[in-house]
Amino acid sequence: MNYQALLDEITSEVLALPVRGDVARYIPELAHVRPDQFGIALRRQDGTTFGAGDWEVRFSIQSIAKVLLLSLACSLDNDLVWSRVGVEPSGDPFNSLVQLEFEEGMPRNPLINAGALVVCDILLQLLPDPKTELLSFVRALAGDKSIDFDRAVAMSELQSGSRNRALSHFMKSFGNIEHSVDEVLDFYVHACSLAMSCNHVVQAFSFMAEHGLNMPSEVRVLSVSQVRRLNAVMLTCGFYDESGDFAFHVGLPGKSGVGGGIVAVCPGRFTAAAWSPRLGTKGNSILATEALRRLAQRSNASVF
């Protein structure tokens, strides 16, 4: 298949669609992003990478980082992670407090905000310098030492993050946050602020399509079993209360972020990422979702 021609075609098509949605404004720094950008990239199993549009522009990956946090935590202490977070879809917005009340501080899954905050708390326990070690982990996966936190975004998110602070305090009251809320939130917002391009994202997530191996280094990131389970969690929980819709229309494990990025994994074939800052009502990029739907359909890519 000529993936470059396909990405070029999809880019032309989605940029011609009527303008819908808006950038994430509840994080003030993200409100300044130019909304009409679009990029898409694809990395095949053999390492060949294709891209179109703004695929080399760096953006705040936001909740896409939750999969990277989870992967790092599982590589260190898999059993501990799954003793403190569940694996069920939430059916609620990504920053909802509703379920934590009757589930006694146990997040429904690690890809909602509450679950990612617990994963951050676990990494604070397991690593002496988690921010530095997360950065090293991501740089090694993507093969680019220039990847860094966008500290302006991190500070903006920290200052406007009353809901995440509330989630953390609520879980701490049940004993599922062990470190100070300030420490957990600082690590969490820095992880979400990682600035990466679509090209970076497809490289970093290649191990999710390669049965746990980061190619071409052949360094094992996770076991085959762990990757299978993380892909399952992405498929069922990666888009919050729109996860079923993405599975229905795209049919691939994936993860979105309110920075406008989406990564999708076709095990054994490719990783793909698309980015466009305008979001729909559920917090997922409208054009990135549509682009990945067209990509999956025309490449006959699905886990089903």
Which residues does the annotation mark as catalytic? 63, 66, 188, 240, 258
- CA–CA dist 53, 256 (Å, integer): 19
- The CA–CA distances, whole Å, from 37 to 14, 20, 94, 212, 285 equal 11, 13, 24, 32, 11
Q: What share of the chain is helix, strand, coil (3-state, %, to 5)?
A: 50, 15, 35
Residue 10, amino acid: I
Alpha-carbon 175 to chain mean position? 26
User: Radius of gyration of the chain from Cα atoms?
Assistant: 18
Residue entry with tokens 């300044």 = 32
- The CA–CA distances, whole Å, from 133 to 124, 130, 270, 289 equal 11, 5, 27, 31
Closest to 221 (Cα-Cα) out of 202, 208, 234: 208
275 forms beta bridges with 39, 261
Token couple for 64? 């896409």
Q: What is the β-pairing status of strands 219-220 and 148-149?
A: unpaired
Q: How many CB atoms lie within 10 A of CB 131?
A: 16
Residue ranges of the alpha helices (H) in 85-161?
A: 98-102, 113-126, 130-142, 151-159
Residue 22, amino acid: D
Yes or no: say if 124 and 179 are a contact pair by the CB < 8 Å rule.
yes
194 forms beta bridges with 149
